[in-house]
Structure 1
Amino acid sequence: MKASETAQRFTHEQWPYEPKFKQVNGWRMHYIDEGAGDPVVLLHGNPAWGFLYRKFIKPLTAAGRRVIVPDMVGFGLSEKPVREQAHTLDGHTANLTGLLRQLDVRNATMVCHDWGGPTGLGFALSNPDRVCALVIMSTWAWPLPPAEFHKQIFPWRIMHAPLVGPYLLGRHNALAGRGMYLSVVDRRKFRDEAQPIYEGMLPDSASRLLTWTWPRWIPLDESARGFARFEWLERELKKSKFPTLLVWGREDEVFDHKTFATRFKELLPHAEGPELVTGRHFLQEDSGDEIAGKINRFLDRIDGRQ
């Protein structure tokens, strides 16, 4: 069975949600919108899509919350532009903003993971009247220093070299394949349950463009094109008074909790946590139900329900 066919079969079984679409800044953007109540917006990064949060949706909606899960343009069921200029950090933040404004999202909790951190925090800090709380997981929001993982020649920098990166991540789908496989704890379960879906959603080199172009926005020095945006994020985040929960994968090697969760705690001393769960970078795969429970209890506390 081809990877795309496997993805469709698994998706129907594990992702039984009505697909919805909006035209956002000229692109067709997919999202799901389940339940009722104050919205919880679940944001993925690279090379995932909304499927990453499949274990969150039922616990959150059962607790009386509306759950919105967008696929960033270039991923999942959203349109996949084939030119690099479509994939900038500011562009993706603008796409998210356009979608949530069209949906008139208010009193939202932004759940930010990986690139969902810079994009989701960018939305929250620019639209404070629409956001009530933050949940931050395995991400970052400052220019330097980057993670040690991103400083290494192998595997990170060599993958994003002009020729090697497109070959490995474009032609061979290395990030959605082996990259995600190595970034979970229970690899056997991931391989059987989820890996074919992530690979199948990026079926050819053209559809994988974002997997090797978006990471180039990670600042490695002061000349980086994303440097000013991350300076802004750090500066504005220091002023934030949003109730915040930090959740981190205990085994995460990309954004290790001792460095990155600690840094968020310095920027947001009022934040709860970090609460550690089983998980490497894609901690949702190993501890989805547990994290959803933590989010529900956190929101219950700030809502005064307990």
Structure 2
Amino acid sequence: MTSAKPVRRLRSSMPVNRRNAKARPYAVASAVAIGTLAAMALINRNLAKKAEHKNPPTGRFFDVNGVRLHYVERGSGEPLVLLHGNGSMIQDFESSGLVDLAAKNYRVIVFDRPGFGHSDRPRNVVWSPDAQAELIKQALKRLDVSSTVVLGHSWGASVAVALALKNPDLVRGLVLASGYYYPTARPDVIAMGAPALPLIGDILSHSLSPLISRAIWPLMMAKIFGPRSVPKKFEAFPKEMALRPSQIRASAAESALMIPDAFKLRNQYADLKMPVVIIAGEQDRLIDIDTQSARLHSEISQSKFHRVPGNGHMIQQTATDQVMLAIREAASPSKLEAAE
């Protein structure tokens, strides 16, 4: 009896040892993965700090509804508000030359939308076009702007539309460039929204996503500028600022909102009664302008639609003069009609 006890203990311990042996490689792999992600996060954090140090704010700040909002103001005359697209910032309009061009005749106000450039993006708010429109409205009130022409590019066009629908007395003219207005099947947009997911999105946006974005940056630029090449003036755009974890997460959140917000707004466009000028590159590789801009034109009776041949999504960069003409058309449609 007594001699059997050690044998039983030996047998009972063997399964435990096997389990430990099997578990050990998984533990090592997990530790390596966690360490790698932490190292990536540290690298991306340092790169983000360097980018912000190299590209300090060029404008002013004020707090609006708890958001520290960065804006640039140039020129004098009738107000003109510029709202950039997803993943972008003030420097897009500055590097294009549109700000300097418009400032010759207008009081140009350009915002870094929440989470982009140097503006905050509090996480207790879902930053839909409606929420951003309310923020812009309050900001314009602080700037004593009671009537303005608004240009929105790409995702910024949705914010411009929301602002005009809610505040028709504020927005006296609307320019919608390369916008997305009607819901469609977009698997690419769903994939781009991954860094906005709770928890896993934070991990991705601080580790893998910035490094992947750096690797595919030339491909992304070729797509959004195509069929045109990236103009030399775009070198002034601070790429490193766009690749910060915070901005990648903001961009992912807007990608995730793109389809549902288009679904929400799709039946309201006919309510726009101010002059509306729609402009889009005829070879846009991101957005089908026939199912988007052309359809929008058909639903807004007083709108005008300009297709820009040989251009893609970034018409503010590659067709700056035509975009400036669209601004003048929205600001003074009767003068342009008389001149024609």
Same structural fold, with TM-score higher than 0.5 when normalized by the shorter chain? yes
| Structure 1: gaps of 5 or more residues | none
Contact 2:269/2:296 (8 A) holds in 1: no
Of 170-179 and 236-245, more deviation after overlay is shown by: 170-179
Percent identity, aligned pairs only, is: 23
Matches within 5 A, 1:140-289: 140-142=180-182, 144=183, 146=184, 150=186, 152=187, 155-161=188-194, 166=205, 169-173=209-213, 177-178=217-218, 179-185=220-226, 189-190=230-231, 193-194=233-234, 197-219=237-259, 224=260, 226=261, 230-231=263-264, 233-289=265-321
Structure (1/2) with the larger helix percentage = 2
Q: 1:269 Cα shift?
A: 2.5
Select the residue among 92, 117, 120 that pairs with 1:52. Answer: 92
Q: Does 1:123 align with 2:159?
A: no
Structure 2: how far apart are the matches of 1:69 and 1:128?
A: 20
Say which is worse superposed, 127-136 or 255-264, in terms of deviation: 255-264
SS of residue matched to 1:194: helix
Find the aligned partners of 1:107 and 1:275 in 2 and give their Cα distance: 28
* Equivalent pair of 1:253/1:281 in contact (CA under 8 Å): yes
Give the CA RMSD over aligned residues.
Answer: 3.2
Identify if the C-alpha distance between structure 1 residues 203 and 237 changes in structure 2 by more than 3 Å, giving closer, same or farther.
closer
What is aligned with 1:68? 109
Asked if 1:27 corresponds to 2:27, the answer is no
Match of 1:114 in 2: 154
SS of 1:275 mapped into structure 2: strand
Q: Distance in 2 between matches of 1:30 and 1:235?
A: 32
Kindly tell me: are residues 52 and 175 of structure 1, through their superposed partners in 2, closer, same or farther at Cα, counting changes over 3 Å?
Answer: farther
SS of match in other structure, 2:237: helix
Equivalent in 298, 314, 322 of residue 290 of structure 1: 322
In structure 2, C-alpha distance between the alignment counterparts of 1:46 and 1:23, rounded to whole Å: 22
For structure 2, the 5+ residue unaligned runs are 1-46
Residue 203 of structure 1: CA displacement?
Answer: 4.7
> TM-score, normalised to structure 1's length?
0.78
In our comparison, the structure showing a higher alpha carbon Rg is: 2
C-alpha spacing 1:280/1:175, structure 2 compared with 1 (3 Å): farther
Partner of 1:96: 136
Look up the SS of the partner of 1:123 in the other structure.
Answer: helix
Alpha-carbon distance, 1:284 to partner = 1.5
The within-5 A match list for 1:80-95 is 80-81=121-122, 83=123, 85=125, 87-95=127-135
Quick one: which amino acid aligns to residue 91 of structure 1?
A
**SS of match in other structure, 2:267:** helix
- Tell me: CA distance 1:132–1:31, structure 2 relative to 1, closer, same or farther (3 Å): same
Distance across 2 between alignment mates of 1:176 and 1:35: 37
Q: Report how far residue 35 of structure 1 moved.
A: 1.3
Q: CA deviation at 1:182?
A: 2.3
Structure 1 residues 273 and 89 mapped into 2: Cα distance closer, same or farther (>3 Å)?
closer
Find the residue that maps to 1:129 and give its secondary structure.
coil
1:28/1:35 Cα in 2 relative to 1: closer, same or farther (>3 Å)? same
Conserved? CA contact 2:181–2:293, under 8 Å: no
Shift of 1:20: 1.6
- Indicate the residue corresponding to 1:137 in structure 2: 177
Q: Compared with structure 1, are the counterparts of its residues 111 and 266 closer, same or farther at alpha carbon in structure 2 (3 Å cutoff)? A: same
Return the offset for 1:72: 0.2
Which SS does the other structure have where 2:152 is aligned? Answer: strand
